[in-house]
């Protein structure tokens, strides 16, 4: 009976969670967030069913995009607003949170922050109020095919710093992203991938070899399958392998594809990377020799977690001690027996 009641209550809870509309969201520390963000879709939107901006514009057209920030709570909310360009993160997913000019891919000619401006970078939203924000976009004068991709980011201003048990300050902030996708025409752009570099690294505190793959065209490359194997130079037997499915790369971006070293130390030597990437639009293959020196891995092995190399030095020492002990014991017994025979 108790089990039936429990299942009934669980069903009701799930049903209400799905069906009832909520205007508030949860921040990383569990605090309810009372503000929401909504794009005001303009007439030149390509697909009006989308809730983000997907616009067809002509050079050097200038247009104001409006976004409404609403606060349904009883207290004012301070927000920070920024424009970002799209990148591809290490998980093979488009990331809309970057606006550092030094991190952009070399092939990215028009990062969104360079062709757009905000009406305000900080706002206070009064209780039960809506405040508009304007993004003024000016398309580049030079005609181009493909997509400019980025986002408007609205973040709750950092609240009081909550120190953890070790005294380190932690700022919990909630953010909304509104994607902005711009194009001048419908000319399809074929993806073109390139292998920029390969070398040893640490990924999630583990030793790995990382291959940096670049999408150098203004094309969103979807459903990529990437696979890689590392060999010792001259060997046909793969040392380590890795694969990743459903990779999506932002236009003019790059990402690190890692091949885990399975918890072992990386050793200097001559290696070869065989790497493939494919989707419905094409396939790419690289066979790249590379060399790892002691300088390259200085600090990587020492700082990596969970190194499980098979070090037999201790076994050799223990075996030697055991052998000497047994040999000495045998000599002692032989000497004793010889004396007894006299």
pLDDT of residue 192 exceeding 90: yes
Least confident among 2-16, 21-35, 212-226: 2-16
What's the Cα-to-Cα distance from 314 to each of 45, 305, 317, 318, 319, rounded to whole Å? Answer: 69, 21, 5, 6, 8
Span 108-129, pLDDT tens digits: 999 999 999 999 999 999 999 9
Q: What is the mean pLDDT of the chain?
A: 83
pLDDT of residue 27 exceeding 50: no
- Non-local (6+) Cβ contacts of 199 within 8 A are 209, 210, 290, 292, 296
**CB count in 10 Å sphere of residue 217:** 19
Task: Please give the average per-residue pLDDT across 190-201, as a whole number.
Answer: 96
Span 53-77, pLDDT tens digits: 999 999 899 999 999 999 999 999 9
Span 139-158, pLDDT tens digits: 999 989 999 999 999 999 98
Span 239-259, pLDDT tens digits: 999 999 999 999 999 999 999
H, E, C per residue of 26-45: ECCCCCEECEEEEEECCCCE
C-alpha radius of gyration, the chain, whole number: 30
Which pLDDT belongs to residue 6?
44
Which pLDDT belongs to residue 302?
78
pLDDT of residue 220 exceeding 50: yes
Which pLDDT belongs to residue 339?
60
H or E element that contains 90: none
Do 200 and 266 meet the contact criterion of CB atoms below 8 Å apart?
Answer: yes
H or E element that contains 3: helix 2-19
Do 150 and 83 meet the contact criterion of CB atoms below 8 Å apart?
Answer: yes
DSSP one-letter code for 220 = -
Which pLDDT belongs to residue 321?
66
pLDDT of residue 185 exceeding 50: yes
Side-by-side strand order, sheet with 116-118: 35-40, 62-71, 129-138, 116-118
pLDDT of residue 290 exceeding 80: yes
CA gap 201, 211 in Å, rounded:
10
CA gap 188, 108 in Å, rounded:
18
pLDDT-based confidence at 1, cuts 50/70/90?
Answer: very low
pLDDT-based confidence at 301, cuts 50/70/90?
Answer: confident
CA gap 113, 70 in Å, rounded:
24
Give the residue with greater pLDDT, 159 vs 38: 38
């Amino acid at each position: 009976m108790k089990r039936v009641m429990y299942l009934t209550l669980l069903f009701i809870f799930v049903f209400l969670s799905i069906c009832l509309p909520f205007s508030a969201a949860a921040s990383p520390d569990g605090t309810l967030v009372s503000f929401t963000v909504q794009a005001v879709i303009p007439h030149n939107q390509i697909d009006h069913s989308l809730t983000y901006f997907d616009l067809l514009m002509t050079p050097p057209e200038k247009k104001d995009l409006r976004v409404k920030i609403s606060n349904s709570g009883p207290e004012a909310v301070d927000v920070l607003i920024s424009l970002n360009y799209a990148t591809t993160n290490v998980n093979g997913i488009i990331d809309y949170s970057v606006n550092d000019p030094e991190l952009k891919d070399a092939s990215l000619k028009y990062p969104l922050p360079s062709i757009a401006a905000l009406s305000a970078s900080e706002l206070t939203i009064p209780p039960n109020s809506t405040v508009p924000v304007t993004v003024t976009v000016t398309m580049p004068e030079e005609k181009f095919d493909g997509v400019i991709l980025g986002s408007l980011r609205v973040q709750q201003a950092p609240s009081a710093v909550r120190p953890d048990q070790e005294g380190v300050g932690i700022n919990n902030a909630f953010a909304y992203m509104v994607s902005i996708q711009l194009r001048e025409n419908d000319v399809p752009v074929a993806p073109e991938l390139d292998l920029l570099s390969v070398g040893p690294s640490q990924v999630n505190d583990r030793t790995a070899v990382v291959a940096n793959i670049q999408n150098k065209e203004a094309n969103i490359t979807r459903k990529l399958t990437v696979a890689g194997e590392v060999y010792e130079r001259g060997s046909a037997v793969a040392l380590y392998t890795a694969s990743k499915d459903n990779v999506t790369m932002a236009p003019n971006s790059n990402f690190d594809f890692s091949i885990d070293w399975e918890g072992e130390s990386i050793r200097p030597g001559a290696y070869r990377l065989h790497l493939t990437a494919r989707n419905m639009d094409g396939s790419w293959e690289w066979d790249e020799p590379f060399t790892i020196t002691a300088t390259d891995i200085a600090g990587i092995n020492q700082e990596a977690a969970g190194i499980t190399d098979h070090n037999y030095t201790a076994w050799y020492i223990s075996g030697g001690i055991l052998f000497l002990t047994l040999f000495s014991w045998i000599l002692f017994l032989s000497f004793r027996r010889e004396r007894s025979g006299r």
